[in-house]
Amino acid sequence: MFESLSDRLSGILDKLTGRGALSESDVNEALREVRRALIEADVALPVVRSFTDKVRVRAVGAEVVKSVTPGQMVVKIVHDQLVEMLGADAEPIDLNAPAPVAIMMVGLQGSGKTTTTAKIARRLATRDKRRVLMASLDTRRPAAQEQLKVLGEQNGIDTLPIVAGQGPVDIARRAIQAARLGGYDVVMLDTAGRIHIDEALMHEMAEIKAATNPHEILLVADALTGQDAVNLATSFDERVGITGIALTRMDGDGRGGAALSMRAVTGKPVKIIGTGEKAEALEDFHPRRIADRILGMGDIVSLVEKAAEAIDAEKAAKMAAKMQKGHFDLEDLAEQLRQMEKLGGMSGVMGMLPGIGKMKKQLDAANLDDKMFKRQIAIIQSMTPEERRKPDILKASRKKRIAAGAGLDVAEVNKLLKMHRQMADMMKLMGKKKGLFGKMMSGL
Ligand code: GDP
């Protein structure tokens, strides 16, 4: 999402850090470029103005002049202001209320409301061990209630039984009642959307709010719609009152303007972001980490958290034990590749590593794209179990068969085997260094 802005800002700031002394006009020139970069990233104009003004005041002040490394100091100031613009501290979804805590999800049709409802429910259930009930109040779109039911079944979350002919407010009341009787901690209300904001929609939202007194009202908005998302949040807040924002499609290649200006314009926190279609593609919005990512400082904390959620600890521990003994067959490699895929593929992992943004071109040239893991897994899947255990038996004719099975060249099969050999050798070496590697693996 922030790739192009990140490239621009890193470029501008790199020029500053390369110098010894900075004059006021150096700083002003850099700030003009920063301003342009933010506008091109579709950040709301008043937000850009206030951002650059604040940076300027600090950057031409004594703080920088006296600094031994003035360039670094400016980078720090830009970073601090970015964090402030994004809302300073992370504000996660708040469940601090008597059970059942009602969370009302509002937004336009197609914004990802139903998907996000299920994602949040799944996370509250699996990570936070809450009992969650979901209810769809969308009686307009014929399949909406079924859609939530299916998502509930897929993710092991209970949904309110559907009663044909009931209106949204009655469903909402029934949901609260059912949650109370059933001992649920949280009840998620997925409301109906429209293509545009209209009176009827706002009226319906206000009625549901009055009937259920939700602790959180989250507006779901599509990050790819840029400033429209920001305007939408403002309208919903004025008419219904929202407690926070869930921004979806942060995995898309939008310019980032919505995510960057949402907090500053609406005064409401972005609480959560959707980063893909899968149920686990949900993250808290951490202003500091996002600022780190934008300024190319990487985001190791998010990567480790993502890994901890995606990686099956039991499997990892088993694999680590095997590796310590120097066993690492192709089945193990396939398992590792699957884990990497779960972390969002190559770009998902790389985007969070510091300094990697600048290496992106080299990575592209080396053909390290998102499909790489998929191709490698396909090759291993085309092998027989025996071949996976004993790669040594793979001679030309078998390799040809495997390549054909995966729809790839024999060269790709050779590349994978070579990579596996190198990894297996390394594992053997590390296995001898008693336990350290194993601890690292299971510590993820
Ligand atoms: P609703 O009409 O607002 O309830 O929208 P849905 O929840 O049905 O979502 C519409 C489409 O957007 C579906 O295909 C979702 O899979 C997709 N979607 C939702 N959130 C995200 C996200 O964070 N990233 C991506 N790439 N797709 C998403």
For the chain, which residues make up each domain, given as ranges?
3-86, 101-295, 304-443
With tokens 């193990």, the residue in question is: 332
Cα separation of 176 and 160, whole Å? 10
Q: Specify the ligand 1 atom closest to the Cα of 276.
A: 24
Residue 278 assigned to a binding site? no
**Is 304-443 in the same CATH topology as 3-86?**
no
Give pLDDT, residue 443. Answer: 41
Is 437's pLDDT higher than 60?
Answer: no
Amino acid of residue 205: M
Cα–Cα distance for residue pair 49/47, rounded to 1 Å: 5
Tell me: is residue 253 an annotated ligand-binding position.
no
Report CA Rg, the chain: 25
54-66 in b/e form (b: 16+ CB < 10 A) is bbbebbbeeebee
- Give the mean model confidence (pLDDT) for residues 335-342: 78
Interior/surface letters 88-105, b for 16+ CB within 10 angstroms, e for the rest: eebbebeeeeeebbbbbb
> Residue 374 corresponds to which tokens in the numbers above?
């998929």
**Which strands make up the sheet holding 186-190, listed edge to edge?**
158-159, 132-136, 186-190, 101-107, 216-222, 244-248, 270-274, 282-284
Contact 76, 70 (CB under 8 A): no
CATH fold group of domain 101-295: Rossmann fold (3.40.50)
Interface ipTM above 0.90: yes
Within 13 A of 377's CA, how many CA atoms are on the CB side? Answer: 15
CB atoms under 10 Å from CB of 149, counted, come to: 19
CA–CA distance, 52 with 246 (Å, rounded to integer): 27
What crossing angle do the helices spanning 3-17 and 287-294 adopt, rounded to 10°?
70
User: Residues with Cβ < 8 Å from 143, sequence gap 6 or more?
Assistant: none
Is 173 part of any known ligand binding site? no
* Residue minimizing CA distance to atom 2 of ligand 1: 110
For ligand 1, is residue 345 a contact (CB within 6 Å)? no
pLDDT tens-digit profile of 133-188? Answer: 999 999 988 789 999 999 999 999 999 998 888 999 999 999 999 999 999 999 99
Q: 3-86: what CATH class?
A: mainly alpha
Collapse the DSSP code of 197 into the 3-class scheme (helix H, G, I; strand E, B; otherwise coil) and give the result. coil
State the average pLDDT over residues 233-261.
89
Per-residue pLDDT at 147 = 93
| Whether the model pTM is above 0.80 | no
Condensed to tens digits (0 to 9), the pLDDT of residues 266-292 reads 999 999 999 999 998 999 999 988 888
Residue in 114, 141, 197, 277 to alter for ligand 1 test, most ligand atoms within 8 A of Cβ: 277
Fold that domain 304-443 belongs to in CATH? 434 Repressor (Amino-terminal Domain) (1.10.260)
Quick check: CB of 145 below 6 Å from ligand 1? no
End-to-end alpha carbon distance in the chain = 26
pLDDT of residue 441: 45
Show Cβ contacts of residue 64 under 8 Å, excluding neighbours closer than 6 positions: 22, 27, 58, 70, 73, 74, 77
Q: Evaluate whether 104 touches 160 at the Cβ level (below 8 Å).
A: no
